[in-house]
Amino acid sequence: MTQRKAPKKRGGKKKRPITKPPSDQVEENASPSHTLSSKVPKHKHCANCGVSIDPERDTCSNECQARWDKMLSRKKFWTYLPIIGTILIVLFWILVSFGG
C-alpha cells in the first residue's frame, strides 16, 4: 500500500479562469468632459479702448485707466442724478405742502 503524494510544484503558472467578468471593460467608457473647454485663453479687454489685456488689469494703460475712472464717475453721476432729483422734488413737495 503505497500512497502517492503529489509533489509540490513551485513557480508554476497559475491558471486563471478564462471567463472574465463582463463588467471589466465597460466602466472605462466614461467620456471626458471637454465640452466646456474654450480655445481662447483667459484674457480681458481694456474697459476704455477694448484692447485685449491681462485678466488682472482693467485697462491697457494709465491713460485708459484715468479715462475709464472719469467715465465711471460720470456714469455714477448720471446713475444717481434721477435719485437725487427725486429726493429734491420730494423735499420741495414736502416743504410746499407743509408751508401752504
Q: How far apart are alpha carbons 35 and 51 in whole angstroms? A: 28
Q: CA 6, 12, 18: angle at the middle one, nearest 5?
A: 105
63/73 with CB nearer Zn ion: 63
Least separation in angstroms between CB 72 and Zn ion: 14
Q: How far apart are alpha carbons 91 and 1 in whole angstroms? A: 124
66/84 with CB nearer Zn ion: 66
Residues near Zn ion, by CB under 5 A: 46, 48-49, 60, 64
Least separation in angstroms between CB 65 and Zn ion: 8
